[in-house]
Structure 1
Amino acid sequence: MHHSRPTRRALTATVAVAAVAAAGLASLAPTAGVASSHREAPLIAGEPKLDNTDVYAFVSPDAPDTVTIISNWIPFQEPNGGPNFYPFATKTAYDIHIDSDGNAKPDLTYRWTFTDNYRDRGTFLYNTGVVTSLNDPDLNFFQTYRLEAITPKGSTVLVRNGRVAPSRVGNGSMPDYGTLADTAITGLPGGGKTFAGQADDGFFLDLRVFDRFYGGDFSEIGQDTVAGYNVNTLAIQVPKNVLARNGNATRNPVIGIWSTTSRQRAEVVRADNSRKLFGGYQQVSRLGMPLVNEVVIPLGRKDEFNATKPQDDAKFARFVTNPEVPRRIQDLYRIPAPATPRNDLAEVFLSGLCKACGPVAVDLNSQRLNKDVDPAKFKLSEQLRLNMSIPPTAQPKRLGVLGGDLAGFPNGRRLTDDVLDITLQAAEGVLLPGHPAAVDGLGDAVDANDVPFRARFPYLALPNVAAVNRN
């Protein structure tokens, strides 16, 4: 894609020219409204430990018989954020949910819960010397976790006392952080592995999209807003059959994924400053197809969306079929908004792509494609959907399906997928029959992460150590 900085008149002319071109991949173009969910709703913006920022799901490129799912939390971590740095919350459930039959309810949930540990409460230091291992006595504060696999039949403990990779304090304290982080990768019974710890924020975009879509004249683009920041990540890699309906990924290759954060319902602070938590878990944050809560759900409904389960998503459907983003772009850049209702977007957000699902007539990533799914029990819901039968691409294309790469977004989401550029294109109707495949120049000019991703699990780059404000 050409990333010039067009004027309003140039963008309008580009649309008019492109409209006469045939769109060979238009029927497989990606969805609108999917990017990252940093500080997406009023309540969760004040609770960063509970704020899930991104979900990724892809067939593992170096282990193609497995799927890797990554969910990130705690956005905009400045690397030098001591003395407490960035622990996961305790008394909180961090969940990744899998729906293999399309009824909008989890068939499998992976749940992490965390415990704080201190060696010496008499010091202010996170570490009291150079840390060379997870068990180093100089690592004063550390976290452990319990990982459970939850199904409708019950719960199985997969990891009882897993170690969290610590926040990266700095090179003086952790001179070989890569090795330290790798030792936090934990094997799972029956195959697979998991990781909990800090990483570079792998999402790349210019967030000035929220400032009148790049200043109102599309001239202020190209700055990676989250470059240099870190996140906390939970990653899990498991065989495909573990995730598939009836344990058979050949017959049932499509799964839906979302993550949630839930905390206990009430907290009381006692006179001695101790705290008592009461009640069961209450969901307070949710993420499947990112940016849905930012730019699809209106301000007054964002906290409600975070507390809602996918099975109840029908109440938000009208915000998908009548999206706000194209109207705002029309006001600013004179690009005509596609006619509503946007059933193309409803298909991608709420059902996945299949010939029986809606106007985008292609079988790609709806659970309705699974042979053991009862179509009568299928329910529209917002999820990130992945067809596990599509193998990894040797040279991934950043525009995913829009670039002809069926292993990319919206068929799951890889770390390298340029979802913001895809979002802007799809918002302008690239899914619609007869529409151009892309509007030349419509993107944020941030095409890749600022640091390379790792080639092996958990794939995200190591956390940044240099101050974000160093320049």
Structure 2
Amino acid sequence: MNRLLYLMAVVAIGCLRPSTTLASSHREAPLISNDPLADNTDVYAFKSPVNAENIVLIANYIPFEHPAGGPNWYTFGENIRYEIHVDNNTATKGDDIIYRFTFTTTNQDPTTFFNIRLGKQNQKTTYTCERSTNGGNTFTAIISNGVVPANNIGPRSIENKTVGLGAASYDALAQQAITTASTGEKIFCGPSDDPFFVDLGGAFDVGGFRSAATARDGLAKYNCHSIVIEVPTATLQKSGKTVAQAANILDADYVIGVWASASRPAITTLSTDGTASLVSGNWIQVSRLGMPLVNEAIIPIGMKDKWNASYPYDDVQFAQYFSNPELALYMDDSQFGGAVPGLSALRVQTNSLGSFDFRNTKSGLFSLKGTSGVTGTALDDAVFGTILLPNATSPRAVDILPIFYTGVPNLRPYQLATGKNGNPLAAGKPFINNFLPTLGDMLRLNMAVPATPRNDPKFSSLGIVQAAVLGLTDPLYNGSTTLQMIPNMDGFPNGRRLEDDVTTIELQAVGGVALAAIGLFYDDYTSASPSPVTPKLVSTLTFNGGVTKNDTTFKANFPYLQSPWRGFNGPGYEGPSVITAVEPTILKAPEAVMVAGPNPFQSSVSLRYKLTIDGNVVIKLVGGNGRQIDLLDQGYQTAGSYTVHWNGSYLAPQLCLATLSVNDKPYTTVKLLKH
């Protein structure tokens, strides 16, 4: 029998590392766009919303599955290793836990062109799941002969008891495919609604981002194939600890890095008579994904295939694209800001606090390197300064690089501006710690952070951005620097929930919102400003990518993804009801805010405050012993800006607190240091 050799990759037969000629994700790179069965489209990692001790890991594959894409519907491919990787310990090199899935397809009735007929299914797919807990040195099968449910073709194929499978419903069929592994994990492999949402048509028309009224979800009513694992935290935590054993909700020992991949044998030999191809050679990684949109919008096209053939542990070679991201050029009027009007609401800080320029190739915070101001902070060379302040031309190494490459530590200056009194390097309110300094692209999750209930009025698809908003402006959280659970601290980029609007969050981050959150405010903020909520900050936080939610609901329980759209239903694809989830809350000017200066003070201090409401205004001053030392009753005042001069010269040196209340409701507290 004559056969033709077809090289899937240019590799040496004995090569143990991936070739640089294969690629990855939602058609994000040239080579993988020709291999959809191995195309890793999205990765999610989040706290189970129903079990505080469990973590949910999801890896999606096969982009743009049309629900009516028969008669040979998409399914997981044979001769592909689908893997979910977990790194939980920086002391060990590479992955610590790997879940590997391999699939087999069988035709139960090869005499028909139908996918399902008379109770038999063609392309019937089963799988084996293996787990490694020693970095891939050895694997143990934890599920054998797992079942992948059929595609949601239509009522005759699925529910009809004569010509179809006779299932009670498609959901019932999918539910039967949920399997518990021998090691306790709950696992589902099968088709689902593609949960990602983005205006692809607008975004890739040279940044033609559209408003919500005109934007179109490019993935609406498409399906994908999903691998979903719900696993106890103790299985993933490096020492086998439960969440209940965490020291606090930002315990650094509970941070994991998650990424997914697909690999194929290096050589495929095609048959000339239609029989199955033969494969041989080493397994070569052809697709990988950690953080969303990295290869899509950060890595340039000339490097995309190399990116996807590389491991995250080799990602230092791509660091330049995060320290000076291309997207930032379109948020900079001195570069190409005018060329992409869809991003006009986003403008990177050029003169933050009158000193710091974060435009590409500018110095950012580099002028602080080696100074006493950064001693003991994450920017100290003795800590992580060599990574975060590498040189005078990598301004975004201080924010974009850690968000994507290391995670963000609970160290100064990476705490909210709350309590910093205008000094971004001071200690502030903790709100994130997903630091796992592997210098590679992974989705990093702190498993100790509680899940925000999906029915919480403060639940938001803006994730950590919204947690920062609440930590800066909500009186429930901005009254102190004490660590407390702020809603959405469990959201992207601390892991990734299905609801998270990662497109908007990442664009806002490139636009400087993370810098503003820690006190490196936008250019229109000055020391005389009563609030950091300036027009430029509001402009950033009111921007969105146009499509801000999925086109359908998510399930309340495992596997959380919605069932796949039904092929029979025609162009309308009437599926699960349109989502009515809580819209993301955006930052608006607070009703009352106050600042003080000079601070520290010797004799008198000016208390400047701004009101956006009318009411009776009182400023209460409390001394270091907790007792009231003065009460400044300003009477009824209308919305506007005011200044009160208070003489505290009679006080001994101490820390005082000034609290502004309107209509008996406290809004903001300022610390005053009397020298």
Q: Same fold (TM over 0.5)?
A: yes
Confirm whether residue 366 of structure 1 aligns to residue 359 of structure 2.
no
Instruction: Work out whether 1:317 is the aligned partner of 2:319.
Output: yes
Distance 1:390 1:233 in 2: 25
Please say if residues 212 and 547 of structure 2, whose CA atoms lie closer than 8 Å, have aligned partners that are also in contact: no
The equivalent position to 1:173 in structure 2, one of 151, 157, 182, is 157
Alignment of 1:3-152 (within 5 A): 37-102=25-90, 105-129=94-118, 137-152=119-134
Secondary structure of 2:490's match? coil
Pick one of 128, 135, 140 that aligns with 1:156. Answer: 140
Letter in 1 for 2:260: S
Contact between 1:267 and 1:277, CA under 8 Å: does it hold in 2?
A: yes
CA distance, structure 1, for counterparts of residue 463 and residue 409 of structure 2: 18
The letter of the residue matching 1:46 is N
Alpha-carbon shift at residue 196 of structure 1 (Å): 0.4
Distance (Å, rounded) in 2 between the aligned partners of 1:283 and 1:224: 30
Q: Does 1:429 align with 2:512?
A: yes
The answer to whether the aligner puts 1:241 opposite 2:234 as a matched pair is: yes
Once superposed, what is the RMSD of the aligned Cα atoms? 2.2
Equivalent residues in 2 for 1:180-191 (5 A)?
180-191=173-184
Number of residue-to-residue matches in the alignment: 419
CA distance in 2, matches of 1:397, 1:82: 37
Q: TM-score, normalised by structure 2?
A: 0.59
Q: Is the 8 A contact 1:214 1:221 kept in 2?
A: no
1:450–1:218: structure 2 CA closer, same or farther, 3 Å change rule?
A: closer
Match of 1:451 among 552, 567, 578: 552
Question: How far does residue 221 in structure 1 lie from its aligned partner after superposition?
Answer: 4.0
Q: Note the C-alpha offset of 1:290.
A: 1.3
> For 1:219-252, what per-residue CA distance to the aligned partner results, in whole angstroms no more than 9, with x for missing partners?
9843111111000000001100111112225452
Task: Please say which of residues 433-442 and 339-348 is displaced more in the overlay.
Answer: 433-442
Q: In structure 1, what is the Cα distance between the partners aligned to 2:570 and 2:466?
A: 33
Q: Name which one, 1 or 2, has greater alpha-carbon Rg.
A: 2
Q: State the one-letter code of the partner of 1:280.
A: N
Q: Is the 8 A contact 1:90 1:116 kept in 2?
A: yes
Larger RCO, structure (CA 8 Å, separation 6 or more) = 1
Q: 1:209 aligns with which of 203, 207, 225?
A: 203
Residue 460 of structure 2 corresponds to residue 397 of structure 1: yes
Asked if 2 retains the 8 angstrom alpha-carbon contact of 1:104 and 1:310, the reply is: no
Counterparts in 2 of 1:468 and 1:342: CA distance versus 1, 3 Å: farther
Q: Secondary structure at the match of 2:150?
A: coil
- Residue identity matched to 1:150: S
Distance 1:219 1:160, change over 3 A: closer
Q: TM-score, normalised by structure 1?
A: 0.84
Q: Are the equivalent residues in 2 in contact too, given 1:347–1:359 (CA < 8 A)?
A: no
Higher helix fraction: Structure 1 or Structure 2? Answer: 1
- State whether structure 2 residue 387 is matched by structure 1 residue 342: no
Note the alpha carbon deviations across 1:168-227, whole angstroms, 9 max, x for none.
Answer: 111221131000000000011232210000000111221111112226x86984311111
Distance 1:201 1:434, change over 3 A: same
The one-letter code matched in structure 2 to 1:161 is N
Counterpart check, 1:385 vs 2:444: yes
**Aligned in 2, Cα 1:457/1:439: closer, same or farther, shift over 3 Å?**
same
Q: Please, which moves more after superposition, 421-430 or 241-250?
A: 241-250
Q: 1:77 to 1:270 in 2, by over 3 A?
A: closer
Deviation at 1:276, TM superposition (A): 1.2
SS at 2:267 equivalent: strand
Alpha-carbon contact 1:214-1:220 (below 8 Å) kept: no
| Gaps in structure 2 of 5+ consecutive residues | 1-23, 160-168, 247-252, 332-336, 349-357, 361-394, 417-429, 468-487, 523-536, 574-675
Gaps of 5+ in 1: 1-35, 130-136, 369-377
Return the letter of the residue paired with 1:196.
C
Bigger drift between 418-427 and 42-51 goes to 418-427
Q: Percent identity between the aligned chains?
A: 39
2:435 and 2:505 mapped to 1: Cα distance?
23
| CA distance in structure 2 between the partners assigned to 1:149 and 1:384 by the alignment | 20
For residues 415 and 61 of structure 1, what CA distance do their matches in structure 2 show?
Answer: 11
In the aligned structure 2, how far is the partner of 1:140 from the partner of 1:92? 19
